[in-house]
Structures are given as C-alpha cells and as structure tokens.
Amino acid sequence: EPSLRQLAAQKGLLYGCAASSNFLAADAPFAALVAEQAGILVPERELKQYVVQKKEGAWDFSGAEALAAFAAKNGQKFRGHTLVWASALPPWLEQKLGNNPSENLLTDMIARECGRFRGRVHSWDVVNEAVVPGFLHPDGLQTSSPWYQAFGEGYIATAFHAAREADPHALLFYNDYSVEMRESWQGGRRTAILNLLEKLKKQGVPIDGFGVQGHLKPFLEHFDEEIFAAFLRDIAGLGLKIMITELDATDHPGPADPAQRDAAIASLTRRFLDVSLDNPATIGVLTWGLSDRYSWLSMDPSRKWPDGQLSRGLPYDGDLKPKPMREAIAAAF
Ligand code: XIL
C-alpha cells in the first residue's frame, strides 16, 4: 500500500500535513504515521508570533526546531507558517503595533524568523488572511488588522521583500481561506484576493504562490467546480504557483451517522482536489493534521461537536485507521 507522499511524488507533487511538536514527541505510533505519509511538514503553531515571540525579545524556536529536525530525519520538506497574521499576535506585540511603531518592527522580525531557517524551508506563508469577507474596504483588505493599522496596506509588500531578503531559497506564499465555494461572500473574497495579488505582481513584489487553505464545510457550504477552477486559472494566470495548504472538513453540524459524514467528506475532498490538481500550477497538498486524534476541529468552539466526540475531518481517524477521506486523496493523486 503506497503512502500518500509516494502517490503524490509519482505525479511530481507534494503531500504533507501540519503537526505539533509535542504530539510527535509524545505519541510514537502517530509520529510513525506522520513520518510514513507526509513528504512535507508544517508547524501547526510553532512558528506563529504568539509562540516564537511570546514575550518581547525572548525568542523561542524550540518547537519549530524540533519539527524541522523531525522533518530532516524523515526526508521531509519543511514549510513555514506564518510570519504575518493578525490572529497570531501576542498581546505585547499587538500593543506595540498600536503605538506608531517603526517599520523595523516588521522587517527585523522577518529577518530573525525567516533568516534563522534560511535554506531549510520549502515555502513560507509570508502573509496569512489579509482579506475580509465582502468589501468593507475598497481593496477588500482587513483594515482592522493591527499590521494594517500600523503600516497601511504596504505592510504586505514590505513583508514579502523582507522574506525574500532573509531567505532567497524559499518560495513565498500569500495564504487565505474560503475561496472554493459558490456562496456570494466567497466571491467577494476571491475578487479581493485576485486584486491584491495582481497589485503585488505589478509592483514587482517577490511573491511565488497562493495558498488555498481548504477548510471545507461539506454540510454548510456549496462547492462549485467551475467557480473554483476559474479562480485557480486566474491565480495561475498571474504567474503564481498554487498549494492546498490546510485541507480538512468540518463535520459539525452534520448527520449523526459517522459513515454518512465520512462519505460526504470524501466525496467533497475528491471534487475539490480534482479541480485543484487539474491546474498545472498546483504543486502540492497539505492537510491540517493527519489524524482526528489531534485536530483543531475538535477543539475550535465554532467547529467542534458539543458532545465531545472527535471531529472526522482528517484522513485518519482517532485510532490512526485510514478513512474514506484518505482514499479520496490517494485517488485524486
Ligand atoms: C489553528 C491551529 O490549528 C490551532 O491549533 C490554533 O489554536 C489556531 O490556529 N487558518 C490558519 C491556521 O492559517 O494557522 C489555523 O490553525 C487554522 C485556520
């Protein structure tokens, strides 16, 4: 039985997953599964600002280094996630951003973080989730972001320039969610994202790709092959690579019967990946975790089952047994 990483590699693609250093260290069977199935690893939290800069000046890369070492040992590539994200700010940094900071705050941070992993990272999510649902701002940017508030929309270009300088070997990505469904608010997001990326390319900003997070909601939203395919064509038309960076599926609310949920998740996963992989600009797929044993979907208040049962949104279940979603990913490669 070939692994997902082998199946992807046979097509010249990458398959991988997000992982947490503590779970890899504490759970040997889980770690063995991650080593076997993933060809690229991304830290679920270990490179976010609230971890690496929990206290001002007290840089902590221990978790990220543990993951990078795990990846190196298992011949896996390593992804960086994420340098600039409004939702990953430690309180001191948020406060500083509100206090008329110098741009060095941003560029020094990137030089430090990105520079440390220079040459070891396949791709960085330089900026994450900079766009709002709808058109609250003419450009669709999230103006309430402390980064925007501090530096205006130029923070995005500045971040990419700083990342390129710190690590010229890494592919640089803008990463965002909710772009695959036919809901009209997602149409607003697609337009805002395309406008942003087009502007960055026109300005000569060093950006290599767009990351489609791919947090699917099979029982809440409606997938549309044509809309998503057209969006990916537009992205590729800008000369950008595409990666599916955080694939998973929320199964609450959904049918009580887990088998029914598994089937719906698998079928949507297949349709989503068929469109994604049909575009030659797509270079890989990562799921946001590998096993339901450790999934943010079972912890996030807006996504978890109130009765405490595990979410079933990842390729392997809580007993590390493959589910239909795993077969769907394998078949899509
Ligand atoms: C999530 C992690 O999975 C959680 O453990 C953490 O508490 C919050 O962040 N989009 C992203 C990811 O880009 O970084 C998020 O990860 C999930 C949504």
Q: What is the pLDDT of residues 24-59, one digit of tens each?
A: 999 999 999 999 999 999 999 999 999 999 999 999
DSSP label of 311: P
Q: What is the average per-residue pLDDT within 185-199?
A: 94
What pLDDT is attached to residue 132? 86
Q: What is the average per-residue pLDDT within 73-92?
A: 98
Strand, helix or coil for residue 15: strand
Question: 141: Cβ–Cβ under 8 A, 6 or more apart, which residues?
Answer: 130, 131, 132, 148, 153, 192, 196
pLDDT tens digits for range 127-169: 999 998 666 676 799 999 999 999 999 999 999 999 999 999 9
Q: What is the average per-residue pLDDT within 268-282?
A: 98
CA distances from 257 to 168, 260, 312 (A): 49, 5, 11
The rounded distance, in Å, linking the Cα atoms of 304 and 316 is 17
Q: 4-332 sits in which CATH class?
A: alpha beta
Ligand 1 proximity of 269 Cβ (cutoff 6 Å): no
Ligand 1 proximity of 296 Cβ (cutoff 6 Å): yes
Tell me the CA–centroid distance for residue 27 and ligand 1, in Å.
21
What pLDDT is attached to residue 146? 98
In terms of DSSP H, where are the helices of the chain?
A: 4-10, 21-26, 28-37, 49-52, 62-73, 91-97, 104-116, 146-151, 154-166, 184-202, 225-237, 258-278, 324-332
Which sequence positions are flagged as catalytic?
129, 246
Look at residue 225 and tell me whether its pLDDT is greater than 80.
yes
Place of tokens 């007993």: 319
Ligand 1 proximity of 45 Cβ (cutoff 6 Å): yes
pTM assigned to the model = 0.98
Tell me the CA–centroid distance for residue 44 and ligand 1, in Å.
7
What pLDDT is attached to residue 136? 64
Buried b (16+ CB within 10 A) or exposed e, 205-240: bebbbbbbbbbbbbbebebbeebbbebbebbbeeeb
Query: Could you check whether the bond before residue 269 is cis, i.e. omega within 30 degrees of 0?
Result: no
- Do 12 and 277 meet the contact criterion of CB atoms below 8 Å apart? no
Ligand 1 proximity of 298 Cβ (cutoff 6 Å): no
Phi and psi at 186, nearest 5°, equal -75, -30
Look at residue 113 and tell me whether its pLDDT is greater than 80.
yes
Q: What is the average per-residue pLDDT within 195-221?
A: 98
Report which ligand 1 atom has the smallest distance to the Cα of 215.
Answer: 18
Where are the domains positioned within the chain?
A: 4-332
Tell me the CA–centroid distance for residue 26 and ligand 1, in Å.
21
Tell me the CA–centroid distance for residue 203 and ligand 1, in Å.
30
ipTM summary value: 0.99
